[in-house]
Amino acid sequence: MRGEVLHFDDEHGFGFITGADGKRYTFEKTDLRRDFPISKGTLVEFHPEEDKARDLFLIRGVGREAAAQTGEFGRFATEQGPVPTGMWSYFQRGLTSNYANFRDRARRKEFWSYYLFYYIALAVLITVCLFIDQAFGRLDAGGAPYVTVTAGLLFFVATIIPAIALQVRRQHDIGLSGWFYLLVFVPYIGGLILLVFDFIPSQPHENKWGPVPYGVRV
């Protein structure tokens, strides 16, 4: 749910929020997902629990007047306001700001955009390394392609965490626990089940892992 900070006592780490539903909620500094400046009028997204606000995060790039005019509260909000939704942008964020993000949601476009460029990068890397191995004669007479194998292994190690994090966020996006990722260890059918999950559309409403990803039509 979206809300506006009415008051915050930084010394005691305690404050009040008025939610989009018109109710007043209390919160503490420990309820923030990450530290950010708080003052009267700050727009935030939060999860209401009775009269308390939990898991607060700042809504960037959205002014109070704009929010009032558009009515973009609750499920229509995003953590950072408008963000780039290009395929390359999703890939970049997968390797940077979302590198180890196991917490939020990932829409289908984000998931498949990441893997499109992932496999393009892998193919380019392997091709270049094979040329290098060939130049050093490592492919002659059944030689081992040491450069290719080493580069491929390093690429895999460097990208295993964002790959798992992305799969977890994709499951969050359809309302499932990230622990379903463990299906990958089920022989034969586990990977197929996860593949089916990856094609399911985003839930068109806020769920326990966050608001609808920016760019998803609801």
pLDDT tens-digit map of 138-171: 777 677 888 999 999 999 999 999 999 999 999 9
Between CA 27 and CA 192 the distance in angstroms is: 42
* The domain boundary residue, chosen from 76, 107, 128: 76
Residue with tokens 């593949």: 195
Element (H, E) at 4: strand 2-9
CB of 181 within 8 A of CB of 169?
no
Sign of the alpha-carbon dihedral angle for 69, 70, 74, 79: negative
Percent with pLDDT over 70 in the chain: 88
DSSP 207: B
100 and 70 inside one domain: no
58 and 121 inside one domain: no
Mean pLDDT rounded to a whole number for the chain: 85
The CATH number of the domain where 61 resides is what?
2.40.50.140
Give pLDDT, residue 163: 97
For the chain, how many structural domains are there in total? 2
CB of 172 within 8 A of CB of 178?
yes
Between CA 32 and CA 45 the distance in angstroms is: 10
95 and 180 inside one domain: yes
Vertex 168 angle, CA 183 and 20, to 5°? 135
Bridge partners of residue 51, in order along the sequence: none
Between CA 21 and CA 70 the distance in angstroms is: 15
Work out the average pLDDT over 213-218: 80
Domain range holding 52?
2-76
Give pLDDT, residue 60: 53
How does residue 58 score in pLDDT terms, banded at 50, 70 and 90?
confident
